Amino acid sequence: MENSESLWQYYQRTKKQIPEDFLASRGTTSHFNVMQRFSCTGSLPFQRIDYYKICLIKNAALLHTESKTVAINTPSIVFSSPEKKYGWESLGDEQIGFICLFNDAYLSAELKASLKKLYSLFQNSVYPLITLSEEEYAIFNQYFQRLEDEYTSDFEYKTEGIYYLLKLIIYQGIKTQINHCPKVKSTSNINPIVSKFMQLLDGQFPVDSPLNELKYKSASEFAEALHVHVNHLNHTLKTITGKSTTQIINEKITAEAIDLLSNTDWSITEIGNSLGFEYLQHFTLFIKKQTGKNPKSFRSVVV
């Protein structure tokens, strides 16, 4: 089976400081980061990644794709995803621009739909790359600067601000690509089963009280709610996302569990119950299987 670089491996390869929340979870939680490119490595081996990366660049570079190498000599923005392999080679020492990283666990159904629209515009392109005029670059640069300011702030609602600005960058990408290629239209047609499944799943999070319990916890419960056979649901999700129904559910529950363990004073039993585990030992075994760690190890990082 082909290996993909994870966000955890990205931080190790680039020797960047791993954010504390991501470090505590060993890379298993929802994650977002933004940084200026002067702190980035100048090259990336040709490979597939299992996270998303948006890179705003102004310096010359070579983008290696599965079909050919693209020389970049003008300001550009690149939208990388797990869908396509790529490699990167910066030309020259100066690196100007921004980079933001986020994993699948970070994406809501709404953001996934937005990305689907964006990527559909590049179906006949070698890679999701947009060359920019100076004016277009300035617009994206302003959005990224605001994104970085929000990310490093102590604003109470900075999570919502980051989400809004990321969505704005994605839609600016859609707008810019359509302006460059007027005949190109989004052919994204999200499978209604996948869309409804993600809405049901995402709608259960975050868990805001230990008295609340997840309504849907298993593939069969989701299939029943969607009025489809569980095998059909699993096949559809596997085809579209590359992951089984159970895998998607477990990843979401794991991310929520780690967040609750790290950031609330609820007891471990309360957290397990709220996530659908009647017995503490079942919750403990689940977390160990998903992360390799005991739930108590996440509790120790509570501030």
Q: What is the pLDDT of residue 302?
A: 39
Q: What is the pLDDT of residue 70?
A: 87
The CA distance from 137 to 42, in Å, is 20
Does CATH place domain 192-299 in 1.10.150.20?
A: no
Q: What is the pLDDT of residue 1?
A: 42
Q: What is the pLDDT of residue 184?
A: 60
Q: What is the pLDDT of residue 80?
A: 94
Determine the CATH number of domain 4-180. Answer: 2.60.120.280
Question: For residue 172, which of 134, 152, 142, 150 has the smallest C-alpha distance?
Answer: 142
User: Which residues, at least 6 apart from 1, have a Cβ–Cβ distance to it below 8 Å?
Assistant: none
Largest Cα separation within the chain, whole Å, is: 59
The CA distance from 147 to 142, in Å, is 9
Q: What averages of pLDDT result for each successive group of 10 residues across the chain (303 residues)?
A: 78 85 81 82 81 92 86 92 88 82 89 88 87 94 95 88 94 92 57 85 87 92 96 88 85 86 90 94 92 82 40
Evaluate whether 249 touches 222 at the Cβ level (below 8 Å). yes
Evaluate whether 161 touches 150 at the Cβ level (below 8 Å). yes
Domain boundaries, given as residue ranges, for the chain: 4-180, 192-299
Q: What is the pLDDT of residue 55?
A: 95
The torsion angles phi and psi of 69, rounded to 5 degrees, stand at: -100, 130
